[in-house]
């Protein structure tokens, strides 16, 4: 048996069945081109009988893709659906009609209201009809995992006799456990030996979180086509996440002995495109494509990864198209991570400086979820350079509103003495800054102003970061307070203190320190 596993992407069909994920035909075409670049073997482009728009999208994709994957459309066993499907895919270089019919007693009794014999007849006529139009016909036994195994085998036999070239065994409701699904595929292979003439396929849903595990169990039992969606989107809890299936086969290739034709370096950008087009965000901890999949924060992990990525990475970020892994600095970081950041940003601190910076960093990390570059630079300025605080806020009073020209009165300590000024501005922050300009006499230009909340809730601490520039000299200023205007004033004064310090201090600065 071949060790090649075909990847059947149904992001444009089952993926689109995710509530709220409808795509228009231009979006579908764009995604289909990307999936072709990713190197999937089959693209299920839609369900042509569903709507004129879906018919058009499938037709567009079928006419567009050249030298790439099979283009497939889904169809019920009804003649009109099959004809419609063929009209949509017929211009494809490699067209496929995918006919499905449920085989479980639950579906027969309640949904289809058909007897087993009627189902067998319908499979024969539907697959036969499709095969009269197209050489490549896939038949799916909807709800196969909850079907009587012997009746399922009977259905598979009929589909093969009618000309199906691919037999797909779905776990439509995500009910199977991996060992059961393995046994189900093995049972079909043992009891319908002629299935070897066709490609045996698996299509698993994630209702109990087993979609990928069941897909892998399926290929271990002899299936050679896996169906799924990028990012695991799809009906209800979604389909098997194709990127997880692909990377499982690649990462455990030695043990599984299976290969795919996928260009893995396209995985990450394909996932991003699916997110953009479907509007369904990927959770940060999602395997392979989540924002944290190659990010490390814990000190012990970062230390290990910096020494040898193999310690905590079972695949490289480059393999899936990411430039590199990321080290996130936060509450759980250790000295190795901090040293790594310092050297990467041009700072040369001695052991003792590193130690006092580390302590200040931990204090800040207890308050703030993520530590950014600006935070660390501000900490270095405070902890290492020990900038003297000439200007310090005493109080401020601001009047602003829809009918008032914003005006601020600000009182500031200049060393031990107090100075007070009032000023107007285009907004309350501008008024505060104009008053501070009068007091300090600074000529600094405000290059950047940003506000972030350090803590959550209504009493959140706001943190203001400013970047100031004066005569080619730049400095960051930071200030935190539950009142955003107070935080703004503190940040401005902090920046002015740093600019003054940079002007007066004589010591030789490292390249990183020069930016402060």
Ligand X SMILES: CC(=O)SCCNC(=O)CCNC(=O)[C@H](O)C(C)(C)COP(=O)(O)OP(=O)(O)OC[C@H]1O[C@@H](n2cnc3c(N)ncnc32)[C@H](O)[C@@H]1OP(=O)(O)O
Binding residues for Mn(2+), by number, are: 14, 203, 205, 239
Site for ligand KIV in 193-252 (CB under 6 A): 203, 205
Query: Which residues make up the interface to ligand X (CB under 6 A)?
Result: 14, 17, 47, 49-50, 76-78, 100-101, 111-112, 142, 172, 235
Stretch that binds ligand KIV, among 23-31, 165-173, 271-279, 338-346 (CB under 6 A): 165-173
Nearer to ligand X, 233 or 491 (CB): 233
* DSSP H or E segment with residue 409: strand 404-414
- Rounded to 5°, angle at Cα 257 from 7 and 244: 45
**Interface with ligand KIV includes 142 (CB under 6 A)?**
yes
Q: 46 pairs with which residues across the strands?
A: 73
Nearer to ligand X, 76 or 90 (CB): 76
Q: How far is the CB of 453 from ligand X (least distance, A)?
A: 43
Nearer to ligand X, 49 or 429 (CB): 49
Strands 295-296 and 326-327: parallel
Q: Tell me which residue has its CB nearest to Mg ion.
A: 14
Task: Report the distance separating Cα 15 and Cα 23, nearest Å.
Answer: 10
Residue 49 or 384 having the CB closest to ligand X: 49
3-class SS at 7? strand
Return the number of the residue (170 or 321) whose C-beta is nearest ligand KIV. 170
Q: Which is nearer to ligand KIV, 15 or 68 (CB)?
A: 15
Separation between Cα atoms, residue 60 and residue 64, nearest integer Å: 6
- DSSP for 233-253 reads --STT-B-BHHHHHHHHHHTH
Residue 243 binding: pick among Mg ion, ligand KIV, ligand X, none (C-beta 5-8 Å cut-off by kind)? none
Interatomic CA distance for residues 61 and 37, integer angstroms = 14
Of residues 445, 476, 487, 289, the one with CA closest to residue 372: 476
**CA nearest 118: which of 107, 129, 130, 131?**
107
Pick from 9, 14, 122, 244 the residue near ligand KIV by CB under 6 A: 14
Beta-strand pair 404-414/391-401: antiparallel
- By CB under 6 A, residue 172 contacts ligand KIV: yes
Q: How far is the CB of 332 from ligand KIV (least distance, A)?
A: 40
Window 380-409: residues binding ligand KIV (CB under 6 A): none
Q: Which does 49 bind (CB under 5 to 8 A by kind): Mg ion, ligand X, ligand KIV, none?
A: ligand X
Nearest approach in angstroms of CB 461 to ligand KIV is 49
140 binds, among ligand X, ligand KIV, Mg ion, none (CB under 5 to 8 A by kind): ligand KIV
501 binds ligand KIV (CB under 6 A): no
- Return binding residues: 14, 203, 205, 239
Q: Write down the H helix ranges in 368-479.
A: 373-383, 428-440
Cα(197)–Cα(3) distance, rounded to whole angstroms?
15
**Residues 14, 142, 171, 500: which binds Mg ion (CB under 5 A)?**
14
Lookup result for tokens 């260009």: 263
3-state secondary structure of 132: helix
Report the nearest approach of ligand KIV to the CB of residue 98 (Å).
7
Who contacts 145 (Cβ-Cβ below 8 Å, separation ≥6)? 169, 170, 171, 172, 173, 175, 176, 180, 181, 184
Q: Among 346, 448, 437, 348, which Cα is nearest to 391's?
A: 437
Nearer to ligand X, 44 or 244 (CB): 44
The interface with Mg ion within residues 404-423 (CB under 5 A) comprises none
DSSP annotation of 205 reads B
The CA–CA distances, whole Å, from 27 to 268, 282, 365, 509 equal 18, 19, 42, 52
Q: Does 512 bind ligand KIV (CB under 6 A)?
A: no
* Site membership for ligand KIV, residue 8 (CB under 6 A): no
Question: What is the spatial distance between Cα 305 and Cα 400, in angstroms, rounded to a whole number?
Answer: 52
Smallest distance from ligand X to CB 48, Å: 10
| Position 100 contacts ligand KIV (CB under 6 A) | yes
Which of ligand X, Mg ion, ligand KIV, none lies near 101, with the C-beta cut-off 5 to 8 A by kind?
ligand X
Cβ proximity to ligand KIV: between 142 and 377 the closer is: 142
> Using CB under 6 A, which residues numbered 431 to 460 contact ligand KIV?
none
**Nearer to Mg ion (CB atom), residue 10 or residue 442:** 10
Name the pairing type of β-strands 199-204 and 225-228: parallel
Nearer of residues 208 and 360 to Mg ion, judged by Cβ: 208
Residue entry with tokens 């037709």: 59
For position 479 contacting ligand KIV by CB under 6 A, the verdict is no
**DSSP assignment string, 14-80:** TGGGSTT----HHHHHHHHHHHHHHT-SEEEEE-TTT-HHHHHHHHHHHHH--SS-EEEEEE-SSHH
According to CB under 6 A, which residues from 47 to 86 bind ligand KIV?
74
Q: Which three-class secondary structure state does DSSP give residue 221?
A: coil
255 touches 219 (CB < 8 A): no
Q: State the nearest-atom distance from the C-beta of 217 to Mg ion, in Å.
A: 17
Segment interacting with ligand KIV (CB under 6 A) among 128-136, 164-172, 287-295, 427-435: 164-172
Contacting residues toward Mg ion, per CB under 5 A: 14
- Contact residues for ligand KIV, defined by CB under 6 A: 14, 74, 100, 140, 142, 168, 170, 172, 203, 205
């Amino acid at each position: 048996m071949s060790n090649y596993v075909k990847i059947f992407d149904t992001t444009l069909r089952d993926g689109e069945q995710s509530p709220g994920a409808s795509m228009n035909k231009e979006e579908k075409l764009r995604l289909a081109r990307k999936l072709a670049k990713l190197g999937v073997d089959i693209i299920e482009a839609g369900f042509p009988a569903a709507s004129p728009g879906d018919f058009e999208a499938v037709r567009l994709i079928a006419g567009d893709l050249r030298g790439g994957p099979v283009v497939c459309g889904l169809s019920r066993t009804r003649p009109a659906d099959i004809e419609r499907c063929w009209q949509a895919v017929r211009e494809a270089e490699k067209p496929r009609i995918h006919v499905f019919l449920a085989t479980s007693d639950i579906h027969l009794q309640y949904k289809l209201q058909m007897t087993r014999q009627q189902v067998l007849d319908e499979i024969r006529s539907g697959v036969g009809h499709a095969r009269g139009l197209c050489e490549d016909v896939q038949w799916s036994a909807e709800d196969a995992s909850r079907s009587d195994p012997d009746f399922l085998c009977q259905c598979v036999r009929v589909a093969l006799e009618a000309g199906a070239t691919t037999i797909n065994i779905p776990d439509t409701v995500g009910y199977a456990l991996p060992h059961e699904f393995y046994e189900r595929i093995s049972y079909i292979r043992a009891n319908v030996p002629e299935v070897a003439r066709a490609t045996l396929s698996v299509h698993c849903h994630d209702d109990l979180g087993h979609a990928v595990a069941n897909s892998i169990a399926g290929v271990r039992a002899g299936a050679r086509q896996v169906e799924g969606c990028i990012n695991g989107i799809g009906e209800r809890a979604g389909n098997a996440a194709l990127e997880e299936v692909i990377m499982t086969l690649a990462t455990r290739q030695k043990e599984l002995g299976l290969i795919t034709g996928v260009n893995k370096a396209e995985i990450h950008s394909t996932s991003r495109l699916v997110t953009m087009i479907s509007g369904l965000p990927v959770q940060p901890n999602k395997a392979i494509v989540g924002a944290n999949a190659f990010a490390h924060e814990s000190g012990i992990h970062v230390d290990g990864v910096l020494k040898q990525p193999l310690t905590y990475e079972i695949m490289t970020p480059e393999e899936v198209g990411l430039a590199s892994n990321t080290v996130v600095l936060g509450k759980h970081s250790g000295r190795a991570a901090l040293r790594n950041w310092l050297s990467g940003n041009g700072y040369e601190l001695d052991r003792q400086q590193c130690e006092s910076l580390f302590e200040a960093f931990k204090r800040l990390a207890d308050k703030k979820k993520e530590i950014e570059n600006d935070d660390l630079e501000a900490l270095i300025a405070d902890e290492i350079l020990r900038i003297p605080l000439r200007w310090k806020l005493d109080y401020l009073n601001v009047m602003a509103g829809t009918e008032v020209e914003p005006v601020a009165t600000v009182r500031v300590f200049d060393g031990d003495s107090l100075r007070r000024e009032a000023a107007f501005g285009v907004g309350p922050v501008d008024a505060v800054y104009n008053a501070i300009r009068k007091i300090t006499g600074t000529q600094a230009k405000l290059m950047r102003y940003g506000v972030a909340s350090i803590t959550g809730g209504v009493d959140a601490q706001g943190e203001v970061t400013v970047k100031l520039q004066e005569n080619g000299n730049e400095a960051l200023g930071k200030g935190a307070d539950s009142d955003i205007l107070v935080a703004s004033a503190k940040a401005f004064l902090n920046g002015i203190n740093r600019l003054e310090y940079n002007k007066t201090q004589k010591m030789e600065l490292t390249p990183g320190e020069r930016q402060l």
